[in-house]
Amino acid sequence: MNTEIRIKLLDLVKEYGDSLLRMEAEKDVQKAMAERAELECQVKPAHFKKSALAYYKDKVKSTRDDLEEQLDLLDVIRGDHHDGQ
């Protein structure tokens, strides 16, 4: 490997490491937001994260529809729905 390629490679490795640091910092920011949602809004962090991700992916309706389907199934399992049987 010649010197020019080695320098390019080292620059790319450094840039990659910098990118990983930014990603790690963003995860810390997201965690802090979830904690704030819990403290300030009484929303569980897991629920906040799932809802925020659905909003980000523009899948709020499909996520809600899926949750309603799951709730219906759980009601059936629990015995809340009776078909006259």
Q: Which residue has the higher pLDDT, 11 or 85?
A: 11
HSE value, Cβ hemisphere, 13 Å, CA-based, for 56: 6
Taking the C-alpha atoms of residue 39 and residue 62, their distance in angstroms, rounded to an integer, is: 28
* pTM: predicted TM-score of the whole model, two decimal places: 0.73
Check residue 83 and give its pLDDT.
59
Check residue 80 and give its pLDDT.
74
Return all residues near 62 (Cβ < 8 A) that are at least 6 apart.
54
The model's pLDDT over 27-74, given as tens digits with 9 standing for 90+, comes to 999 999 999 999 999 999 999 999 999 999 999 999 999 999 999 999
Q: Where are the domains of the chain?
A: 3-43
